[in-house]
Structure 1
């Protein structure tokens, strides 16, 4: 077993380029090859020393590649992940794991049956802010979680959609593309979601998806969460604008999550822990404690984690099963919005329930595949 991991990349678009940039200077791993059909993308990849392949099948024949990162449009995720798993090649697929949970479930089951690591790119879990928030909640500092509010609000300009028309298609709206990150973190922090109610507003720009959605989520613990997402609403309240995770977004001093419990409350990502002085009593003054974090890049952390999975040092933090469950909640939100009814969320594959590690409480063309 090599000390360093050689990675192959599917798609040299916006997200694929971020993965390659995150790997620069890392001794543990490097990208050595890419599947890209767009001439500009191939030229740029070649300049970085990456070997370019026309198809995934051709790259899978390269036995020097230890693992594959899939950074293509969502419509291609499941088919490409399945090919990797069938070839016995560990794979990290960008979120969402697929367009539908039905198609994703078969690939997740296949990966588990073949014991091939299948990871999903919910990279926020690798952020030091998230690790610290998880630690605070697990310590019991806020008591039993009762109420959560999450906001994911921003304005994507028309040029963003014109550059990649697939972003206007069904399955690429803010619920699927953006809110799924927040759903993954809420499950990570608070446990499994078992019921959903929701409303959505269609795109005013004529796209096939929604531009605004609000949902009420119930956790198996009995806690409730309200979540709102829009790609057409100006606001400083989103992970992108509050976490300083990606330098392309101007950071604010706001928070996008508030988590309230029986003993205290935590805001994220600013990690302010609010508790009453003395006994828990609404008449008693509040104390606030700002928790530190190391500020490490979550994409770098995710790639380093992938290396440790490849070298059998640790299991996947966000497995295919975890990615599937986040997608099921997203589908439940979409279904609830369409029907106006409460939706029960499925939580098993072949009768086996997922382990979230959360706190316990009572067929598209390959074409230009860059994401």
Structure 2
């Protein structure tokens, strides 16, 4: 069977990561690169595919089976709407939009048209997350009580020098990094219905936060706490524990989530499991049964592109829908609002 032809719009870092995955895919093929920047020519040439300056040009001269949009955030909605109008399936990098209101416009268009749109929250395709979710949903932990999470890491000065906008409002870890965590937490624990937060910029003194303490309420009654910081020299983050992105140094003895229920707890991504025997009284004076959940580690981008190919071919529905992507953005915006206002933000 011929491979599904996928073009990539945006030849930046994430676009190049997707290009690499497509070149190695057994079922999908890179058909073209779309990017008006001079540097994109070298990327397309190295990949051995045509370069188009715009989506209009791509549609007119080299229409693919599907398009992966890895373009700047401000272009996500207008470009996605253009593809929907052209009947072209898309994988849209997160965030779905720059604002919830803008994202709602896209969700309405997707649901009205029945368009095939996958949102690029790639951790949804992580084998680690799939196994963790399976354990939680199996009931092994009992009724869900709490989740404790963290995304603590140290971003070097060069990160901010190379993108001065990251020192300004909208450039802090809430809107850049927390949206990843929100999707993971929703996968593990269900819908988030209320948030509160404290933010600080005490370390760097930028106009934007560098550290945030977040409380979460889930629809099932569980509560969560989350520590977020891009100035904490601590490896309790997904990037530094999951070993999925080899660009990051890894601490394989650390976890970034602990999910606890009435019968036990699961630490992620070490997958250490501690449970009480079902036929015994539970007590903090009694020992846990201790074990490790078996799982594999693999590149979620690889799994995501295979899933997108199946979506393009009409074999399955998107694992992360446009509505999912919008809800992740909605929760992230609520955290920013809670930190700024000092009040609980209700997401009902």
What is the aligned partner in structure 2 of residue 356 from structure 1? none
Aligned partner of residue 285 in structure 2, secondary structure: coil
Structure 2 CA distance for aligned equivalents of residues 61 and 279 of structure 1:
69
User: What displacement does 1:159 show?
Assistant: 1.7
Q: Measure, in 2, the Cα distance between the counterparts of 1:16 and 1:128.
A: 22
- In the TM superposition, residue 311 of structure 1 has moved relative to its aligned partner by 1.0
Deviates more, 1:50-59 or 1:310-319: 50-59
Contact 1:73 1:166 in 2 (8 A): no
1:263 is matched with 263
Q: What RMSD over aligned residues (CA atoms) do the two structures have, in Å?
A: 1.7
Aligned to 1:299: 301
- For 1:117-156, what per-residue CA distance to the aligned partner results, in whole angstroms no more than 9, with x for missing partners? 1211111111111111111111100011111111001111
Distance 1:34 1:137 in 2: 40
Partner in structure 2 of residue 322 of structure 1: 324
Query: Kindly tell me: are residues 117 and 209 of structure 1, through their superposed partners in 2, closer, same or farther at Cα, counting changes over 3 Å?
Result: farther
- Would the aligned equivalents of 1:203 and 1:209 in 2 still touch at CA under 8 Å? no
Unpaired runs of at least 5, structure 2: none
Counterpart for residue 336 of structure 1:
338
Structure 1 CA distance for aligned equivalents of residues 177 and 213 of structure 2: 13
Normalising by structure 2, what TM-score?
0.94
- Provide TM-score, normalisation by structure 1: 0.88
Candidates 291, 313, 335, aligned match of 1:311? 313
Question: 2 CA distance for matches of 1:116 and 1:208?
Answer: 39
User: Using the alignment, how far apart are the partners of 1:264 and 1:304 within structure 2?
Assistant: 34
Superposition pairs for residues 37-116 of structure 1, below 5 Å? 37-62=36-61, 64-116=63-115
Q: Distance in 2 between matches of 1:337 and 1:45?
A: 43
Q: Deviations over 1:309-331 (max 9, x none)?
A: 11111110001100000100001
Post-superposition CA distance 1:156-208 (Å, at most 9, x none) = 11222333445445434211221111110111111111111112224865655
Aligned to 1:284: 286
Q: Greater shift after overlay, 33-42 or 186-195?
A: 33-42
Query: CA distance change for structure 1 residues 231 and 75 in 2, over 3 Å: closer, same or farther?
Result: farther
Change (3 A) 1:239 1:103: same
How many Å separate the matches in 1 of 2:208 and 2:71?
A: 19
Q: Which residue of 1 aligns with 2:125?
A: 126
Unaligned runs of 5+ in 1: 347-371
Of structures 1 and 2, the one scoring higher in RCO (CA 8 A, sep 6+) is: 1
SS of match in other structure, 2:118? strand
